[in-house]
Amino acid sequence: MSQVKVYITPFLSNGSYGTEREITKDVIQIGPLGVDTDSSDYQIGVFRNSSFRLTLNNRDGLYSDVGIDQSIFAYKRADAKVRVTYTEDNNLPFCGTAICGEAILCEEITVFEGLLNDESFLEEAQQEKAEFLVLGYESLFSRVTVPFAAISNGDPVSNVIFAMLDQSEITDLLTVDLANIVPGLDEEIDDKTDLENLTAKEAIDRLLLLSNSVLKIEDETVYVTSRDASASLIYTFHGQASLDGAENIINVRNISNGKNRMFNYMTWRDDTVVFQSSSSIALYGVRKREIDSTIFNDNTKQTDIVTELVTEFAFPKQELELQTPIKADVVEL
């Protein structure tokens, strides 16, 4: 039988992180865990926080707020680290005890890392349970503003995003390296005025769209990449009666033709720049999008951006939800 474990790393009284402790025995419920790139069917280049709800047995007061003697939280409860792991078999085999055909060689895999959110904390006295929202590390981006003085006109998008992420509130928890920030289109900005007084998240949202890029966090490291598929096939799922491998598809649902995300005619507000895909328009009619930004005011750069975006989204890409048994290799995927 597989097993999910939950760990918390609380703060010490001096404000530094203490030792990670397993709290699986107190877990009553873990809500659905989701990690997304685009925040809705009709937006692109906008990331959304990964999150889930965590309900704990608080009979002993371990998860009460600071000031309660029994609480594990000595400095503050918010931003305690939360880690969720998956093990394919909860009875790991040992030399001399593994039974052939029954024991599974596996290891504990981390499937989520994030921070405890104290703002939405709920507690029920009669049932003695505490309910938290756990947010992905990308929630840190909403807590800092754009370091406006650290950005200059003429900086490429990669450097601008790096400057936004290279702040202690973020780098204390995440690794931020310029080498890992490789946008799909890395143009030099013309006017930084649009970025003033924005949170880092708001600004990154805009730059991800203009650079046709996505942001992801893996192993506590931030990456910005293009939307290009990987060079090699990573994994293959097999349906019923497949001759190429064991069946590992339970169901395929919410199959979309992808037309909800496509557009084939893009303009730049208050400018003459326009790019269209004639072949897409011939098939689907005009599907127009407009960019409203003064970060780039050079016509050549604007043309490069709308060309890149229309080329990416001029034709529908089928989307679907695939249900599969939870196995170690799928979790890794």
- 3-state percent breakdown (helix, strand, coil) of the chain, nearest 5: 20, 30, 50
Pair 164, 200: CB distance under 8 Å? yes
Sequence-distant (≥ 6) Cβ neighbours of residue 17 within 8 angstroms: 9, 10, 11, 81
pLDDT at residue 101 is higher than 70: no
In this structure, what token pair is assigned to residue 327? 């196995």
> Which single residue is written with the structure tokens 């998008």?
157
The answer to whether the Cα torsion of 134, 136, 139, 140 is positive or negative is: positive
Arithmetic mean of pLDDT over the chain: 87
User: Percentage of residues in the chain with pLDDT exceeding 70?
Assistant: 88
H or E element, residue 20: none
Q: What tokens were used for 15?
A: 């404000």
**Structure-token match 């799922």, residue found:** 237
The HSE-up count of residue 50 (CA atoms within 13 Å, CB side) is 20
Q: How far is CA 280 from CA 261, 270, 272, 277, 285, in A?
A: 13, 25, 21, 5, 7
**CA 64 to the chain's CA centroid:** 29
- With a pLDDT cut of 90, the percent of the chain lying above it is 48
Task: List strand residue ranges (DSSP E) for 95-235, in order.
Answer: 109-124, 129-136, 213-218, 221-226
DSSP-derived letter for residue 180 is G
pLDDT at residue 81 is higher than 90: yes
Q: Range with the lowest mean pLDDT among 4-13, 34-43, 115-124?
A: 34-43
pLDDT recorded at residue 119: 79
Interval 299-323: pLDDT, tens: 999 999 999 999 999 999 998 989 9
Provide the angle, in degrees to the nearest 10, between the axes of the packed helices 157-165 and 200-210: 160
User: Using CA atoms, how far apart are residues 290 and 234, in angstroms rounded to an integer?
Assistant: 35
Task: Read off the amino acid at residue 286.
Answer: V
Answer yes or no: is pLDDT of 198 > 90: yes
Residue 73 pLDDT > 80 = yes
Record the pTM: 0.84
Alpha-carbon span 150 to 223, nearest angstrom: 20
Name the pLDDT band for 109 (thresholds 50, 70, 90): confident
Residue 237's pLDDT is 93
Which residue has better confidence, 101 or 327? 327
244-278 confidence digits (pLDDT tens): 888 889 999 999 898 888 999 999 988 889 999 99
Q: What is the DSSP letter of 107?
A: -
Distance, CA of 104 to CA of 123 (rounded, Å): 39
Alpha helix (H) ranges present in the chain? 157-165, 168-171, 200-210, 278-284, 299-313, 328-332
pLDDT of residue 166: 95
**Rama region for 38: left / alpha / beta (φ>0; ψ in -120 to 50; rest):** beta
Is the pLDDT confidence value at 98 over 70?
Answer: no
Cβ–Cβ < 8 Å for 159, 200: no
